[in-house]
Amino acid sequence: MSDTITAISTAPGMGAIGIVRISGPATLTISSQFLYYNNSPLTQERIRKSSRQSLFCEFRNDSVLIDKIIYTFYPNPNSFTGEDVAEFHFHGNPILLRQVIDLFVTEGIRPAAPGEFTKRAFLNGKMDLTEAEAIGRLIHSRSRFELELSQKNLFGDLHKLTSRLRSELIGIKAECEAEIDFSTEDLTFESLEERRERIVKIQTLCSNILVKSSKADNLISKSRVVLFGEPNVGKSSLMNQLLGQDRSIISDIPGTTRDYISEDMSISGIPIQLVDTAGIRETNDSIEKLGINQSLREAENANLKLFILDSSKPMNLDQWMETNRLYLTSSILVINKVDISHTSWKEENLFERLKLILVDNGNLNGIIELSCKTGQGVDQLIRLIEERLSDSSLTEEYVMLEDRHKYHFQQIVSALSRANDLIINQAPAEIVVQEIDEAVLQVGQINGIVSNEEVLGRIFSVFCVGK
Ligand SMILES: Nc1nc2c(ncn2[C@@H]2O[C@H](COP(=O)(O)OP(=O)(O)OP(=O)(O)O)[C@@H](O)[C@H]2O)c(=O)[nH]1
Ligand SMILES: [Mg+2]
């Protein structure tokens, strides 16, 4: 039987409420020892009777009143950990909460290790390992994008996927075993080919998951936002505006920025690498050409492109469309220098016409009027960048995997690829089934059906205490 553990479950520091949690067999005894109502102790029977309900009561150390609190008891097995759990809602002062933990420890309760509550939840079958890991991720998510992917795993996406993989693999294994146990005479070439196709299908599924996860990693670690456009439109000026510092050299000489310049920043917690590039134009200058090629490469690899236009100059819309159609669908269009817009922009209604063209071309990223000089439109652009980078409609394209999961998915792909080769080479089912077994084992390690203490220790040690 496990011992009883305790920890402060709310974030460190002062707050309106601070929660201390205990989990384990001594939960009820300890609770009744410290809780009073109308000067009489709350008995274990009384607490049990109010299971899962909030009790307003006093928390006392002998006769000394420590705080008036809200208390909830969750009897096993219907609690977060699957054990008896209690939550004490104190006023959120860290010294007070520390004092409570010390009192519990004096009574023989052990301070919890990081992630120990979640580990117990996993060990008691409350969730699988991918869901437990998603809790850790969710707490530490730094952007809405990462948060949404963690939620998908927490709400069971990875769990469902691995369950499906497991059941399909076991289906194939069963078939191989039937072939081993019974005569092979009935087995036609078609059924072997069918088996091979099933194996390849699972292998492709796993490879695709790995691709989606590396795409997600790129966005989670740092989104590349690339500023590009013709020379002198104000790319470097916008870079400096967004950074709030003079990072790029600005001048009225077209072709000022020759090499790309990048700087880290964050927008609403989304880590961003902002990249300023050389203006794109026809040129005979070989160094400038190198810079322009670099700009095009940067634009290609961007998570989000800001295509900057200069409204201080007249524009031939049709001609512009001809040369720039390629960029229309995937960029935020920034119409800069609106403080000195050329009269033709108003007369020819260029902004509105561009807007319509964008919609027709399926650009959902948007268009914005801005001035780096006056700052007009900059906040609006920042909000738009944030929206686009954390666009939840995109999350279908991504899967979030921990490094551990990636390793096991790679092992599954390798095992299935070996199985495929074996079938092609007409290896006996006894040999093929070993590779299928290996794949099943690897799936089991992802969701925790197969786990060992060392791996669990490593997973939960990165959690915060109290979770
Ligand atoms: N009036 C006005 N001038 C601007 C604005 N934004 C940029 N400028 C001016 O436009 C000129 C070019 O700005 P840069 O930021 O160097 O342009 P760039 O696109 O980086 O140019 P290259 O590096 O040569 O490709 C500078 O003289 C800026 O001061 C704006 O919103 N309003
Ligand atoms: Mg520049």
Ligand whose nearest atom lies closest to the CA of 371: 1
Q: Are residues 266 and 380 in the same domain?
A: yes
Q: Are residues 391 and 407 in the same domain?
A: no
- Centroid of ligand 2 to alpha carbon of 277 (angstroms): 7
Q: What is the pLDDT of residue 461?
A: 81
CATH assignment of the domain containing 213:
1.20.120.430
Burial 147-171 (b: 16+ CB within 10 A, else e): bbbbbbbbeebbbebbeebbebbee
What does the pLDDT average to over 156-183?
88
Residue whose CB lies within 8 A of the most ligand 1 atoms, among 289, 308, 311, 372, for a mutation test: 372
CATH assignment of the domain containing 50:
3.30.1360.120
Q: How many domains does the chain have?
A: 3
- Choose among 18, 6, 31: nearest CA to 89: 18
| Within-domain flag for 133 | no
Q: Are residues 324 and 445 in the same domain?
A: no
- In Å, the largest CA–CA distance within the chain is 91
Q: What is the pLDDT of residue 214?
A: 86
Q: What is the pLDDT of residue 423?
A: 93
Q: Are residues 405 and 256 in the same domain?
A: no
pLDDT for residue 393 is more than 80: no
What does the pLDDT average to over 361-390?
89
Q: What is the pLDDT of residue 271?
A: 81
Q: Are residues 233 and 369 in the same domain?
A: yes
Model confidence at 117, in pLDDT bands (50, 70, 90)? very high
Q: Give the ligand 1 atom nearest the CA of 258.
A: 23
pLDDT for residue 2 is more than 70: yes
First to last CA, the chain: 20
| 411 CB neighbour count, 10 Å cutoff | 18
Ligand whose nearest atom lies closest to the CA of 313: 1
- 45-92 per-position pLDDT tens digit: 999 999 999 999 999 998 899 999 999 999 999 999 999 999 999 999
Identify the domain boundary among 128, 163, 197: 128
| Within-domain flag for 144 | no
- Centroid of ligand 1 to alpha carbon of 236 (angstroms): 7
- Centroid of ligand 1 to alpha carbon of 401 (angstroms): 42
pLDDT for residue 394 is more than 70: no
Residue 36 CB partners (closer than 8 Å, separation 6+): 42, 57, 58, 59, 60
Report in angstroms the alpha-carbon separations of 268 from 138, 174, 176, 297, 384: 16, 51, 53, 27, 12
pLDDT for residue 248 is more than 90: no
Comparing 187 with 94, the larger pLDDT belongs to: 94
- Choose among 151, 160, 164, 171: nearest CA to 128: 160
Q: What is the pLDDT of residue 219?
A: 74
| Within-domain flag for 243 | yes
| Within-domain flag for 455 | no
Q: Are residues 37 and 167 in the same domain?
A: no
CATH assignment of the domain containing 276:
3.40.50.300
pLDDT for residue 27 is more than 60: yes
Ligand whose nearest atom lies closest to the CA of 261: 2
Query: For residue 111, is the peptide bond before it cis, meaning its omega torsion is within 30 degrees of 0?
Result: no
Identify the domain boundary among 113, 128, 143: 128
- Residue bearing the CA closest to ligand 1, atom 14: 234
Residue whose CB lies within 8 A of the most ligand 1 atoms, among 250, 257, 336, 341, for a mutation test: 250
- Residues 216 and 195: their CA atoms lie apart, in Å, by 32
| Within-domain flag for 145 | no
Model confidence at 392, in pLDDT bands (50, 70, 90)? low
Residue 123 CB partners (closer than 8 Å, separation 6+): none
Pocket of ligand 1 (CB under 6 A): 231-237, 250-252, 254-257, 278-279, 336-337, 339-340, 371-373
Comparing 49 with 188, the larger pLDDT belongs to: 49
Q: Are residues 235 and 382 in the same domain?
A: yes
Residue whose CB lies within 8 A of the most ligand 1 atoms, among 227, 237, 285, 309, for a mutation test: 237
Q: Are residues 119 and 13 in the same domain?
A: yes
Identify the domain boundary among 351, 380, 395: 395
| Within-domain flag for 37 | yes
Q: What is the pLDDT of residue 395?
A: 60
- 81-109 per-position pLDDT tens digit: 999 999 999 999 999 999 999 999 999 99
pLDDT for residue 184 is more than 60: no
Residue 43's domain comprises 5-128
| Within-domain flag for 344 | yes
Q: Are residues 160 and 187 in the same domain?
A: yes
For the chain, the average pLDDT equals 89
- 193-242 per-position pLDDT tens digit: 899 999 999 999 999 999 999 888 877 777 889 999 999 999 999 999 99
| Within-domain flag for 459 | no
Model confidence at 183, in pLDDT bands (50, 70, 90)? low
What does the pLDDT average to over 442-462?
83
Q: Are residues 201 and 188 in the same domain?
A: yes
Comparing 257 with 1, the larger pLDDT belongs to: 257
- 268-325 per-position pLDDT tens digit: 767 889 999 988 888 888 888 888 888 888 888 788 899 999 999 999 998 988 888 8
Q: Are residues 373 and 405 in the same domain?
A: no
pLDDT for residue 455 is more than 60: yes
Q: Are residues 171 and 228 in the same domain?
A: no
- Residues 370 and 47: their CA atoms lie apart, in Å, by 62
Q: What is the pLDDT of residue 188?
A: 62
